[in-house]
Structure 1
């Protein structure tokens, strides 16, 4: 069974506009919808390659002058969620390129590895802590055992 439907009448009009010049040198514009800020907490517990445990002491990664090292990623392709921001931070932390502001991982700071924790602050200011696992990441509660290595940095190799 079919039912008849009445549509409103429509009018189509052609609007002519002057032609644009053939060559227009417009600057490329990148729209940034938000920013992911990432802080890496280095696990300083002995034998932490087995993975992060809540009682393990963590120290925030720092620059050589001991100022906080915060990686920045724009919320554009391919960084579209907290997981991708953590993956990008892991890559930077293993000397695989810079963050979106051109910041690279300090040469005298050990690489990011299993057992460390990545703190991701998202575009809407939510915060998520991710444990680095042998494969991927797992969400964990905010770490409570933070140590201040100001002046010494977390440079030791495990």
Structure 2
């Protein structure tokens, strides 16, 4: 024998809070400036690199949301190259610091994708080449404005 039970009506809803809000997939790019003499011939694994930072010393992380334009790590590196050459800003409005030279051949761009894959790409004369994670990191220090090629 079954007994009928009346249940109160229940309404279920999803409440979006700041910690659960939808965040679009994004690529994060970090530029490493090649500090080796005559590095314009291209990046070599033994070249020292310095991470680009804000004037206050905090790391410069360029963010690009996945879109029709930014579909992969290389497209994100290309967008970072544009920011690094003062042609645009990242998706958060960050621009390239005035006291760091422009991104050029021999520099390395690290891109972390929305899938959390990390790719290091050297800036070549035409495009990018995948390289191993750089092992020699240095500080831009006093050479921020003077490291021109």
TM-score by length of 1: 0.77
SS at match of 2:32: strand
Which residue of structure 2 aligns with residue 142 of structure 1? 133
For 1:83 and 1:113, how far apart are their aligned partners in 2?
A: 15
Q: Please, which runs of 5 or more residues in structure 1 have no aligned partner? A: 1-30
The Cα offsets for residues 101-134 of structure 1, whole Å up to 9 and x where unpaired, read as 0000011210000000000000011100000000
Which residue of structure 2 aligns with residue 106 of structure 1? 97
Which residue of structure 1 aligns with residue 72 of structure 2? 81
**Does the 8 Å contact 1:32/1:75 carry over to 2?**
no
Say if 2:32 is the partner of 1:55: no
Q: Please, which runs of 5 or more residues in structure 2 have no aligned partner? A: 1-21
For 1:132 and 1:153, how far apart are their aligned partners in 2?
A: 20
Which residue of structure 2 aligns with residue 157 of structure 1? 148
For 1:96 and 1:154, how far apart are their aligned partners in 2?
A: 19
TM-score by length of 2: 0.81
**Does the 8 Å contact 2:83/2:96 carry over to 1?**
yes
Which residue of structure 1 aligns with residue 120 of structure 2? 129
Superposition deviation, residue 66 in structure 1: 1.1
Computing the radius of gyration from Cα coordinates, the structure with the larger value is 1
